[in-house]
Amino acid sequence: MRASISQRGLYFEELDLEVVYRHSPGRTVGESDNTLFSTLTMNPQSLHLDAAASADTEFGERLVNSMFTLSTLIGLSVAQLTQETTIANLGFGRVSFPAPVLAGDTLYAESTVVGKRVSKSRPEAGIVEFLHLARNQRGEVVAQAERTAMMRRLPLEHQG
């Protein structure tokens, strides 16, 4: 029998406080990503869809929908942190977008575990507080989000 290794995120016990987890690869945002996301989510905001109207704004062009930016930020963290080890998102705290994202920008994500505890109602689970940051290709922070998730604990045979 050959050995088999499955990709997964980290269990509650494997997530270390105050460690910065840098996620790879980054994600370059295309114009069609923004248009598709905005229309799929029924957001007709001219800032995302109307090049002519957006040309007259302080940005001079369309902005990428901030909800796309947030979704991509969290999505970039999944393979490293939560693939098959998360039970559920419990909520988001403060979310901010300190700089705009434009078509052609590349998003890079990092996450820090800022709090964790064993669940009071589900001892097989832990509650983890993440701080997620997205930076563009110039290193500018373009999104920040606090997120609380319920995470699976290591199976009993692996707890030490």
Q: Determine the Cα–Cα distance for residues 88 and 94; give it in Å rounded to an integer.
A: 18
> What's the pLDDT score for residue 144?
98
Q: Which residues pair with 146 in a beta bridge?
A: 131
* Residue 125, CB-side half-sphere exposure with 13 Å CA sphere: 16
Rounded to whole angstroms, how far apart are CA atoms 32 and 17?
37
Q: Where are the domains of the chain?
A: 12-154
pLDDT the model gives residue 116: 97
- Model pLDDT, residue 1: 83
* Half-sphere exposure in the Cβ direction for 147 (13 Å, CA): 25
CA 147 distance to own-chain centroid: 9
Helices 66-77, 31-40: axis angle to 10 degrees equals: 100
Second-level CATH architecture of 12-154: Roll (3.10)
- Digit-by-digit pLDDT tens for the chain (160 residues) are 899 888 899 999 999 999 999 999 999 999 999 999 999 999 999 999 999 999 999 999 999 999 999 999 999 999 999 999 999 999 999 999 999 999 999 999 999 999 999 999 999 999 999 999 999 999 999 999 999 999 999 986 666 5
H/E stretch holding 128: strand 125-135
